[in-house]
Amino acid sequence: MKNVKLVSVGTFLPGQPIGNDKIQERFSVNAEWIELAIGNRSRHLVMDLDTGEINYTLADICNMAAFNAINKAGVDVDDIDFIVMGTATPDSLMPATVNMVAEKLGINNVATYQVQSGCAGAMQAIDMATKFLRLGEYSTGLVIGGDVCAKYIDIERDFSQLSSSELINYALFGDGAGAAVLSNDEHVSGANIVATLNRCEGLYRQPGQELNWLGSRLRDVENVQPLKEDYKAIEEQVPVMAKEVMMEIITNAGWNMEHVNHFMTPQLAGHMTDKIIQLMEVDPAKAVNCVADTGNNGNALPFLQLEMLMDRITDGEKAIGVAIESSKWIKGGIALQA
């Protein structure tokens, strides 16, 4: 089994940061409540909230993130042997968004895979790519994660009439994309991927989050809520699951808690992430945390954390990453050593 390295990470956040005052103006969500209850200060969106114009597709922002990762790795697109992409919000059912990103990058004649998943999709994609590379069939892989909210935003609606389980999402979520280059070339520098974890534990458990495919348009057809969030279930279960993943991935890596220098915890919202860090008994100074400024942008978030980590981690240091998907309770994790 070959050793696999995380060579580089690239990200892309569309547009300028959108503050809570703008969210209050467009969606009738009190800005002070967002700050006090949710803890997010800003987020990025592919949509212009004043005009409703969509400035980027998911493929657009994933292409930019992937280009940044490839450029940082110092490789050529012809060096990429396969692509794995995780997203909960593809641009279309077919063609798969991963293949549109490949076209934008000028990549052809490679294997492509798309994981339909929420926040854990990035970890699932990294897990898949790591397994491929360990077997030695490929030498260089591109892993991508990204999500966009545009399908679930209809700026013409009367937001004062929405249920709290739907309205909360306009405070929580944002758009973004991230990508990483992985390699099993022993001569390439990067952080060693020591262990990964990917497991669904949703048997007989109600989903904590649901997205319908047609987005806000389905409401007009069948009066179905486009996006539903059981925030209380998530608040209760995600911190517990996150600690379980952390301890399992540390054990799988053969480490102890005190060996770990950096922790990438689940990034649900500003205050929720603080609670998770506390429950996981992680030193806040070791936490790699960005959600309060980026919003919860799903599959992009682990890559945003990994990009921050790559700027911080030094030779010999160890890092743990955890992602939890509440839609059907999926655990994801990674252990890295510089």
> Helix (H, G, I), strand (E, B), or coil: what is residue 90?
coil
For residue 209, which of 233, 242, 185 has the smallest C-alpha distance? 233
Predicted pLDDT of residue 223: 66
Angle CA 167–173–176, to nearest 5:
155
Tell me the whole-structure pTM to 2 decimals: 0.94
Model confidence over 128-167: pLDDT tens digits?
999 999 999 999 999 999 999 988 888 887 777 777 767 7
d(CA 5, CA 337): 9
d(CA 10, CA 7): 11
d(CA 120, CA 40): 20
Predicted pLDDT of residue 222: 62
Predicted pLDDT of residue 14: 98
Model confidence over 50-94: pLDDT tens digits?
999 999 999 999 999 999 999 999 999 999 999 999 999 999 999
CB atoms within 10 A of CB 157: 13
- The alpha carbon torsion through 135, 201, 301, 336 (nearest 10 deg) reads -40
Q: Which residues contact 155 (CB under 8 A, 6 or more apart)?
A: 26, 47, 49, 52
116: left (phi over 0), alpha (psi -120 to 50) or beta: beta
Comparison of pLDDT for 208 and 254, the residue scoring more: 254
User: Helices then strands (H, E): number in the chain?
Assistant: 12, 13
pLDDT band at 220 (very low <50, low <70, confident <90, very high): low
Q: What is the DSSP letter of 331?
A: E
pLDDT band at 170 (very low <50, low <70, confident <90, very high): confident
State the average pLDDT for the chain: 93
Identify whether 14 is preceded by a cis peptide bond (ω within 30 of 0): no
> Helix (H, G, I), strand (E, B), or coil: what is residue 274?
helix
d(CA 124, CA 299): 10
Helix or strand holding residue 54 (H, E): none
